[in-house]
Structure 1
Amino acid sequence: MQRHPFTPLLCALTLLLAAGCTPTVQIAAPSEPITINLNVKIKHEILVKVDKEIDTMLDENSELF
């Protein structure tokens, strides 16, 4: 049985094409750090708590004002 002269070339080309079709996944870190600003929520909770304490204090000491 005699081989075709282009068989090795055809095999190499097929391997290159198959290697080019494999998917790649790249993971890169962000250039800036991720920041989450929670100051608004914390400030709101503190203000509500202080408002409730002031209301309670004014109710207990209504003769002050």
Structure 2
Amino acid sequence: MVGSAALGGCISVKAPDKPIVIELNINIRQEVIYRLAADANNTIDENEDIF
């Protein structure tokens, strides 16, 4: 009991000075490029005579 009370005073939780930034641009960009590529393939398949 005494040991746990002594350890309780050693723990310090402090908020960071700078905000936490999470970059999600890579996943979103890959999904958009993938969708555009699939759409382009469909357009080419549907209009083979103009290519």
Q: Answer whether TM exceeds 0.5 for this pair.
A: yes
Aligned length, in residue pairs: 46
CA distance in 2, matches of 1:40, 1:22: 46
* Cross-structure match for 1:22: 6
CA distance in 1, matches of 2:6, 2:40: 67
Q: CA deviation at 1:40?
A: 0.9
TM-score if structure 1 supplies the norm length?
Answer: 0.64
Percent identity of equivalent pairs? 28
**Higher relative contact order at CA 8 Å, sep ≥6: structure 1 or structure 2?**
2
Q: How does 1:43-54 map to 2 (within 5 A)?
A: 43-54=29-40
Q: CA deviation at 1:44?
A: 0.5
User: Any stretches of 5+ residues in structure 1 without a counterpart?
Assistant: 1-17
TM-score if structure 2 supplies the norm length?
Answer: 0.80
How much is the aligned-residue C-alpha RMSD, in angstroms? 1.6
